[in-house]
Chain A
Amino acid sequence: MNGGIPVLTINDVANLDGLLADFLKKAEAEMTVVIDRGGNVISQYGDQRLMDVTIIAALAAGSFAATCELARRIGEVEFNALYHQGNGNHMFMNSVDEDTIMITVFGSRTTVGLVRFYSTAAAQSVAKLLKSLQRGGHGLHFSADDISAAPIFTDPPTVAAK
């Protein structure tokens, strides 16, 4: 996502949600998350009780990047997709574009083949949408005065032992 800070407007999110909802319905998967390769969550849809999305995004970005190195060892630029098989829940990750990855969590209702099949088209649609996102100035107008001078994070005082 070179060229400035990406901004997701309400319409962008609604469009993304529509794409992801359609994909989940067709693939019969539980949840899907679109992340950038730095580990930031761009969008998520589905049953969010399944996992802590922020942590999954960080780990998936790392995992995807690590396998890129494996791919290079066999003369590939990257592996376009990764599949992690569990006992009940599984994870499928595929490349959306050079900056973005899509993660899909699914259970026994569906198969990896179905998820893989529909994720290809979904990834193409997501890539097209992300390409159109506004870049450059982020338009969130606030001045330095709006930022609280108080510490953002506080270290609570330790209670002295009796």
Chain B
Amino acid sequence: MSIINYASREIQFKIVYYGPALCGKTTNLSYIHQRINPRNRGDLVSLATAADRTLFFDFLPLNAVVIKGFVTKFQLYTVPGQVIYNATRQLVLRSVDGLVFVADSQWEKMEENVESFKNLEENLAKQNISVDDMPCVLQYNKRDLPNIAPVNYMEYVLNNRKKRLQSFEVISSTGQNVFAALNAVSQILLHKFSKQSDVPQSVAAPVAIPVEPRMAQKQSAPA
């Protein structure tokens, strides 16, 4: 869940890369880490096994200025794709603001893609969230491999829903459309966030531009 801090002028968002085992989630984060300006990112933290399989999660913090001079912090996480690590996936999904579902385009991985997406929906449902309410984009990854399903088929299998998700053909190893997908989910997330700006009538609205506490007290004092 996003948090707004008016003192440090920061807003935090959490984006989770989800998908079946070996679909390229960690490769996405590695590519972003490699290519983004080091001033705008932190270290890439990977909690992986000796065989480089994600054990807990990968984590990459990114900074950007997109809203009225506030520093917007995007925290990118991956989940472990292997079926046995579902408890870990549920933990990583906690307080999620946006999702990138990474599907493996190879024919033999189609069943795993569908299972993983179903697993995502189930895990979100445990937090009373629906995929339809969550900023989410689809990546059809590994489009450079020979044995891949056509995009139309993948759309039919993974995106056959009332509210269709934006989808991208991706080659995460070379970075093709990795940033496009990240930017798309970030934009959807920010637009959703902008719609939540109405403050309930019973609560006084905080000012968008921070003021000194003393000044605020003076302004609120009766004349």
Contact = CB atoms under 8 A, between A and B. Distances in A.
Interface of A: 1, 4-14, 36-43, 52, 54-55, 58-59, 61-62, 65-66, 69, 134, 136-144, 146-148, 151-156
The number of chain B residues touching the other chain, given as a range, is 35 or more
Nearest to B215: A10
Given A69-B87, A140-B197, A147-B67, A40 B75 contact: yes
Interface string B65-93: 01110100101010000000001100110
Nearest to A59: B45
A14 B64 contact: no
B91 A65 contact: yes
Given A10-B211, A11-B216, A62-B47, 6 more contacts: A4-B196, A59-B45, A140-B208, A147-B194, A152-B64, A155-B179
B43 interface: yes
Interface in B153-169: none
Contacts of B95: 1, 36-40
A147 B14 contact: no
Contacts of A42: 3, 5
B1 A36 contact: yes
B42 interface: yes
A134 B37 CA distance: 35
26 contacts: A1-B1, A4-B196, A6-B3, A6-B4, A8-B6, A9-B7, A10-B216, A12-B7, A14-B213, A36-B1, A37-B94, A37-B95, A39-B59, A54-B73, A55-B59, A58-B45, A58-B61, A58-B77, A139-B199, A140-B11, A142-B197, A147-B190, A152-B64, A153-B36, A153-B183, A155-B35
A42 B6 CA distance: 11
B182 interface: yes
B198 interface: yes
A145 to B, nearest CB: 9
Contacts of B56: 62, 66
